[in-house]
């Protein structure tokens, strides 16, 4: 395990992201959800990430059902704060599809990064999980809320206090926006950030300022969205592939295909190269991948454990302008 910042909280090289357990894009059964988590456990994954946002609490409930069968000292768990779940009168007969989750919309999300809101969110998450401790708490997408400055000041202060009291082990923020993450890294004393889709084989904007700031301030990175919403998840990117939870622009599909072609030339696959690249930067403590099916999790674990692609692949990607020359690459 790698330790997050100065926290003492450890995470495995491969982590399990639980958005799919909240019926992201499609409904899965409780059995499928449990099988996916169990598959991760069987392959040595001991870091699990969830959030109230994922399926309006469904992901947390499903995650807790499986993890409660394992000794609490043997795994690391993170959840998120900033979105309280409150009643949504009249929503019981509707679905939460506008937010991407195929679940009843009897609840709705309410932004709240206040100290009271964060403590309430954390208590409600522990109740849904059925666990008395959460190791890592991440402020979730503060830039999407109407109160990003509250997250940076009052929200962080509340989590800092909970960490000092030993209630939680590590404090962080999760976002796909590089600038808000950079501000948290430089203006607070975070242990970790969860970086979504901004340091991948397809694009590496986090190399400009964010990752150097993480190195300078001793902040660890939980790298998520490393397949760019699925565009890099298949051996050959499809025309109707997803990117940023929407349709992938043709220009990006073509770029991904150029990378895939080089992967084939070197006897590896696009998903393999994408996964191991995402963990090669020295600030990255864990590469967190989602899976709604056990088979998908097993594949990801196998890819992460396999020897990295030949060095020539990375050199050719750089030479063809498909990879930044300052990006660290995996070595055997």
Pairing verdict, β 76-81 and 134-140: parallel
Give 151's DSSP letter: I
Strand stretches in the chain, DSSP E: 2-3, 10-11, 14-17, 47-49, 76-81, 83-87, 107-111, 134-140, 168-175, 192-196, 220-224, 242-243, 246-247, 284-290
Is residue 322 over pLDDT 80? yes
Band of the pLDDT at 139, cuts 50, 70, 90?
very high
Which residues are identified as catalytic?
54
* Structural domains for the chain: 9-236+271-309 (3.20.20.100)
Over the stretch 84-129, which tens digit does the pLDDT of each residue have? 999 999 999 999 999 999 999 999 999 999 999 999 999 999 999 9
Q: What is the pTM of this model?
A: 0.96
Nearest to 309 by CA among 255, 243, 259: 259
Is residue 247 over pLDDT 90? no
């Amino acid at each position: 395990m790698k330790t997050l910042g100065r926290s003492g909280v450890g995470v495995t090289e491969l982590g399990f992201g639980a958005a799919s357990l909240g019926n992201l894009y499609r409904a899965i059964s409780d059995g499928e959800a449990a099988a996916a988590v169990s598959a991760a456990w069987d392959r040595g994954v001991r870091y699990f990430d969830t959030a109230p946002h994922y399926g309006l609490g469904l992901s947390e409930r499903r995650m807790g059902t499986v993890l409660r069968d394992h000794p609490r000292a043997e795994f690391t768990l993170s959840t998120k704060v900033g979105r309280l779940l409150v009643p949504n009168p009249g929503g019981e007969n509707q679905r939460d599809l506008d937010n991407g989750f195929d679940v009843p919309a009897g609840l709705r999300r309410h932004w709240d990064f206040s100290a009271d809101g964060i403590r309430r969110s954390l208590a409600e998450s522990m109740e849904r999980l059925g666990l008395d401790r959460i190791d890592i708490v991440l402020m979730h997408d503060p830039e999407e809320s109407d109160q990003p400055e509250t997250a940076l000041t009052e929200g962080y202060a509340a989590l800092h206090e909970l960490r000092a009291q030993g209630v939680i082990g590590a404090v962080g923020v999760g976002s796909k926006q590089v600038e808000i993450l950079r501000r948290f890294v430089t203006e607070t004393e975070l242990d970790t950030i969860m970086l979504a889709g901004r340091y991948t084989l397809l694009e590496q904007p986090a190399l400009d300022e964010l990752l150097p700031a993480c190195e300078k301030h001793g902040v660890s990175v939980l790298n998520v969205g490393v397949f760019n919403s699925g565009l890099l998840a298949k051996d050959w990117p499809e025309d109707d592939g997803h990117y940023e939870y929407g349709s992938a622009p043709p220009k990006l599909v073509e770029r991904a295909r150029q990378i895939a072609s080089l992967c084939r030339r070197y006897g590896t696959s696009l998903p393999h190269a994408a996964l191991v690249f995402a963990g090669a930067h020295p600030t990255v403590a864990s590469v967190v991948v989602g899976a709604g099916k056990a088979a998908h999790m097993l594949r990801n674990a196998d890819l992460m454990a396999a020897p990295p692609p030949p060095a020539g692949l990375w050199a050719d990607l750089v030479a063809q302008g498909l990879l930044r020359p300052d990006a660290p690459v995996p070595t055997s």
